[in-house]
Structure 1
């Protein structure tokens, strides 16, 4: 009988092979193994391919590498291709610079509900700690330990509570947080049927809120968003964002404004598209 995964973890990446290698290792040590990995690669060079091949050779996880030619920021397009290629009914979206805690996949699956998306969060590591991260540190889960991070120079802040292991505390913080539950591509999960029902990501979207817009259409279509930022834990590796562009952000805001004004549930520029 052909293996059918309980979840498809879709990891978006672009020319960050060192980070991706660490991120893939964090999925190699997950407490639950019945999932597949789909790399949504927006045109990375050969180094990324070598990292994926090396990981595939040592891991029992099924890894699918979806690649498209580098032709500018087309993350939404490669994510739609990854959705189409997935073999599971449930999708977990994250990025190639987000290292997952060992219970990340298991927690997403435990908390899933019908016609509901799970809105997770992430904890940003400093540039110095990011540069020191290794597979052994991830295996020992030190990068999710508040005391270890403080020892390494991570600034003390309330956001360290995102790393709590207490379910009671996490559930309480999820309940009282003023942060709205949204579709944040670094840590979000949903049913495949719910995201395909709105035709996936709008491929006109550039960097800056491109993931939020698909979530807004899903909400318009009746999907509830549940706040789980203190339960589904990942740490974000530091990097610059040279691709930020005011014109692109203005375009995205205009599309999102139209989605809100028209209560749009579908985009003509998604999975099914002549765009």
Structure 2
């Protein structure tokens, strides 16, 4: 199995740099092939320069997939990157979500036919995020001790103290198998064949909001159930200002249409990029 990590970004190179530093620290079994594709939703040239600098020293293939900035089009750039990926399994990661060193390997171990993985986040405060982004050695957070994580939680730098904890959980991971509300595209693992079967993300969702819920609902309808990724594939979510939510109400109405319908395939999606 080959894993394609698809990292969505938009004009935040300092955060993306820390995410790439986290990906560069991955501890992956030799038999696990993987690649990284940066799904760039129209960033300026400083992001391209950052990616180019990482390509010279990255431990695996690193590609830059870009489209013009025409507003928030995360679904579209994810579809475009997925069409250019060569993996059997897709892991979607946001460009402000720093992966732990076992992120790729844990996703590989959780991957199971008939299921997709809903990962979770550890939220960092605004002040702590700024501190990290201003430190050249910020990625050393990956080497924090249990005590340091406990202190960070107590000091309100982080909303959780256990990102280091790994639990098998076994059957517990499948208890919320139809809870589409828990699925976030900032940390999501899915077989590429299943992604293609539902035509990826629906690009009729314009602007921020609910395109990941629509994706989750259509996957469930296709017969692919949700596997809980807590205590296995957490990511460290850097603080950011809220996105423009002017389209949220309109997108919620589109999600309600999905919930009341029977379709599985996105109207405008992955197959737009096959040529």
**TM-score normalised by structure 1 residue count:** 0.87
Deviates more, 1:262-271 or 1:8-17: 262-271
The aligned runs of 1:2-41 (5 Å cut-off) are 6-32=2-28, 34-41=33-40
Distance 1:237 1:102 in 2: 17
The corresponding residue for 1:272 is 271
Distance 1:179 1:56 in 2: 39
Distance 1:175 1:191, change over 3 A: closer
Deviations 1:28-81 (A, max 9, x none): 010117310011101000110111011111113101111011111111111110
Deviations 1:195-248 (A, max 9, x none): 110111110112111112111101100011111122111110011024222xx1
Q: 1:120 touches 1:230 (CA, 8 Å); kept in 2? A: no
Question: Cα RMSD over matched residues?
Answer: 2.6
The aligned runs of 1:168-179 (5 Å cut-off) are none
Distance 2:53 2:231 in 1: 32
Displacement of 1:179 after TM fit? 10
The corresponding residue for 1:219 is 220
Q: 1:208 touches 1:249 (CA, 8 Å); kept in 2? A: yes
The corresponding residue for 1:243 is 244
Determine helix, strand or coil for the equivalent of 2:38.
strand
Displacement of 1:151 after TM fit? 3.5
Displacement of 1:156 after TM fit? 8.6
The corresponding residue for 1:202 is 202
Q: 2:166 touches 2:231 (CA, 8 Å); kept in 1? A: no
Displacement of 1:184 after TM fit? 1.0
The corresponding residue for 1:105 is 104
Report the number of matched residues.
265
Distance 1:242 1:92 in 2: 22
Displacement of 1:178 after TM fit? 11
Distance 1:178 1:225 in 2: 4
Distance 1:29 1:131, change over 3 A: same
Gaps of 5+ in 2: none
Determine helix, strand or coil for the equivalent of 1:9.
strand
Distance 1:261 1:178, change over 3 A: closer
Displacement of 1:188 after TM fit? 0.7
Distance 1:256 1:162, change over 3 A: farther
**TM-score normalised by structure 2 residue count:** 0.87
The corresponding residue for 1:163 is 163
Gaps of 5+ in 1: none
Distance 1:151 1:117 in 2: 33
Determine helix, strand or coil for the equivalent of 1:160.
coil
Deviations 1:233-267 (A, max 9, x none): 1110011024222xx11221122111111122112
